[in-house]
Chains A and B, each alone.
Chain A
Amino acid sequence: MIETAAAGSAPADAPVLVLVDHHDAGVRAPVLELLTVARGLGVVHAVWFGDGVEGALEQLGAYGVATVHQVTVGDGTAPLPPSAAEALAEVLVASGATTVLVSSTFENKEVAARLALVADAGLVVDASGVEREADGRVVTVQQAFASTWTVRAEVRAGRAVVALKANAAPAEPVEAPRTPHVLRHEVTLASDHGVRVVERTPRAASDRPELGEAQVVVVGGRGTEGDFSVVEELADALGGAVGATRVATDEGWIGHEAQIGQTGVTISPRLYIGAGVSGAVHHRGGMQASGTIVAVNNDPEAPIFEIADLGIVGDLFTVLPQATAEIRRLAAER
């Protein structure tokens, strides 16, 4: 257990740690949103696991990062959540930070939980907003019960660990970028936590935006009967990502990683379009926080119409291609 910080004691200039998810092509998009939000909470310190931080320094500086903690854990491979949490706890103490932000992926939620446990911190996951009150308290906003409720909560502990959902806030660079200062940490783990990675296959990158981060998502359900082409074409015309219901992924019409819902990916894009999707509660749990919801379904009684801003009772195989053609025509005109 690391020393406990007193509630509400965070000085305004206390660092805020932001865990930077990255891959070969650089920083993942939600991180830029986290950095933007973090600037409202204190001095932004980024945490980068592994090599390759040099190529990202300029971008991190552009989003207001003052210091980057480059952390090497054990042999330098990407650490599993228990090891990442152990390493982050070290950085937390070394930096004097009282707040930690991570993006809300399954792995990061585990990192956040284990870090909060040892740091005696309050934990909020899947937050859609986070602020610091004048008295230093951290207050968060979450959507509950398939986004039918909004919950504001305060962290009572002296430290806060918050996992923020993608698209929670727009990413905005700072006016006066600077080059962050890099601090290196070599973390020797107490143990390997009894688990090893036998095999790891990164998912092939797609030309479309990542589902969890996309501003537009077009989703196909059982109504597609396995033909996703009209869904894909509409997604491409809108520069969006393609998602699916569990029925569609279980049928093998599209990979499991495309599943939107309570046991799949949670999305909150500006625009969600569902085609041949009934709107089961498990599915809604993952999409009801979307900005605008459009549904195309040939059953006027489909429950998805209860939450659709624009509902179209019609056959997706005629409505979608017509919309796609019109969107392309309008784009060509502009």
Chain B
Amino acid sequence: MKIVVCVKHVPDLQAERRFTDDGRVDRGQGDGTLNELDENAVEAAVALVEAHGGEVVVLTMGPEDAEDAVRRGLQMGADTAVHVLDAAIEGSDAFGTAEVLAAAVRAIGAEGPVDLVVTGMASLDGLMSVVPSLLSAHLGLPQATLAAELTVDPEARTVRVRRELDHATEVLEASLPAVVSVTDQANEPRYPSFKGIMAARKKPVVTWTLADLGVDPSDVGEAGARTRVLEATPRPPREDRVLITDDGDAGLRLAAYLVENRLV
């Protein structure tokens, strides 16, 4: 089985995240990490290959720093990595991202058919959860998203996904090749071992440009974005915050606060 895992490099959640003056996610803080939710995607892919054989290719699109994200994937057990790096992709929206990732999946497929594309459930900077669907549409492959549980039947060439939606639990079955996204419920991502870290140093990271992929630069990046940020402002801190210590009547004071603020 050949599995492509899409991983994104995002600003660290624990650090202070901000927008630049022209309304883009500030990626210049140098404290980016592999999107945590993509660790679940890498784990799912590596585990499937351990069970059924095959190879895992980690794929990212992003600036220089994004190489860290695929490196981490290699440390976790992926075999090879692809980094799409091109000045023109800066400022891409979900459509530009999906178009580039789809072109890269096709290019990877040209070297041997891809059976499964695995993504995380959301990138923790944008939290859109739409790239997997858009990838599936671009590639013309079935989508089975938000897997809390994922199983592949290599003989039947199907993938089964159990997912918890707002109003129901569903089991979906898709034919391979397919695009799946996994949630943080799907598994417990492994921590790279010392051996894994050493081995990753020798694993190749291939860099591709848009020209290598035959993607028109005007489709992506700022130029191709279908929305534009007009203004990004930090939320003012909450005013009039009150902190009290319970002296035996805090429950009464809580009730009084709700009454006073017309919340009951």
**Contacting chain B: which of A54-62, A65-73, A110-118?**
A110-118
Cβ 8 A contact of A150, one of B133, B232, B254, B261: B232
Q: Which residue of A is nearest B170, CB measured?
A: A200
What 1/0 mask marks residues of chain A from 145 to 164 whose CB sits below 8 Å from any chain B CB?
10111111111110000000
Give every chain B residue within 8 A of A155 (Cβ-Cβ).
226-227
Complex Cα distance, B122 from A242, in Å, reads 25
**Contacting chain B: which of A11-19, A94-102, A175-183, A311-319?**
A311-319
Give every chain B residue within 8 A of A9 (Cβ-Cβ).
none
Which of A117, A126, A154 has the most chain B CB within a 10 Å cutoff? A117
Instruction: Tell me whether B164 is interfacial, beta carbon within 8 Å.
Output: yes
Measured CB to CB, the closest approach of chain A to B50, in angstroms, equals 24
Instruction: Tell me whether B127 is interfacial, beta carbon within 8 Å.
Output: yes
Instruction: Tell me whether A31 is interfacial, beta carbon within 8 Å.
Output: no
Q: Name the prevailing secondary structure of the A interface residues.
A: mixed
**Contacting chain B: which of A33-41, A42-50, A325-333?**
A325-333
**Contacting chain A: which of B60-68, B79-87, B244-252?**
B244-252
Complex Cα distance, B76 from A329, in Å, reads 57
Asked whether B165 lies within 8 Å of A325 as measured between CB atoms, the reply is: no
Asked whether B94 lies within 8 Å of A113 as measured between CB atoms, the reply is: yes
The tally of residues in B whose CB lies under 8 Å from a CB in A reads: 81
Instruction: Tell me whether A121 is interfacial, beta carbon within 8 Å.
Output: yes
Q: Which residue of A is nearest B242, CB measured?
A: A310
Please judge, given known A-B contacts A155-B227, A156-B226, whether A109 and B130 are in contact too, CB under 8 Å: yes
Asked whether A113 lies within 8 Å of B13 as measured between CB atoms, the reply is: no
Complex Cα distance, B240 from A310, in Å, reads 9
Cβ 8 A contact of B160, one of A123, A145, A198, A201: A198
Q: Which residue of B is nearest A125, CB measured?
A: B128
Instruction: Tell me whether B90 is interfacial, beta carbon within 8 Å.
Output: no
Give every chain A residue within 8 A of B225 (Cβ-Cβ).
156
Q: Which residue of B is nearest A216, CB measured?
A: B263
What 1/0 mask marks residues of chain A from 113 to 137 whose CB sits below 8 Å from any chain B CB?
1101110111111100000000000
Instruction: Tell me whether B171 is interfacial, beta carbon within 8 Å.
Output: yes
Asked whether B255 lies within 8 Å of A292 as measured between CB atoms, the reply is: no
**Contacting chain A: which of B15-23, B104-112, B195-203, B209-217?**
B15-23
Task: Mark out the residues of chain A between 204 and 221 whose CB falls within 8 Å of any chain B CB in the assembled complex.
Answer: 210, 212, 216
Please judge, given known A-B contacts A196-B173, A323-B252, A326-B252, whether A308 and B243 are in contact too, CB under 8 Å: yes
Asked whether A238 lies within 8 Å of B264 as measured between CB atoms, the reply is: yes
* Range of interface residues on A (Cβ < 8 Å): 35 or more
Please judge, given known A-B contacts A199-B171, A310-B242, whether A326 and B230 are in contact too, CB under 8 Å: no
Asked whether A149 lies within 8 Å of B228 as measured between CB atoms, the reply is: no
Measured CB to CB, the closest approach of chain A to B263, in angstroms, equals 5
Asked whether B122 lies within 8 Å of A263 as measured between CB atoms, the reply is: yes
Please judge, given known A-B contacts A144-B19, A150-B232, A153-B228, whether A322 and B175 are in contact too, CB under 8 Å: no
Cβ 8 A contact of A156, one of B227, B234, B256, B257: B227
Give every chain B residue within 8 A of A322 (Cβ-Cβ).
249-252, 254
Instruction: Tell me whether B3 is interfacial, beta carbon within 8 Å.
Output: no
8 A–B contacts from the bound complex (CB under 8 Å): A109-B128, A109-B129, A113-B130, A151-B232, A196-B173, A203-B168, A313-B246, A322-B249
Contacts A105-B165, A109-B130, A292-B263 given; 9 further ones with Cβ under 8 A?
A80-B172, A113-B134, A117-B98, A122-B226, A144-B232, A153-B227, A195-B173, A238-B264, A330-B255
By a beta-carbon cutoff of 8 Å, the part of chain A in contact with chain B is 23, 80-82, 105-107, 109-110, 112-114, 116-118, 120-126, 139-140, 143-145, 147-157, 193-203, 210, 212, 216, 238, 256-257, 262-263, 265, 270-271, 281-282, 285, 292-294, 296, 300, 305, 307-315, 318-327, 330-331
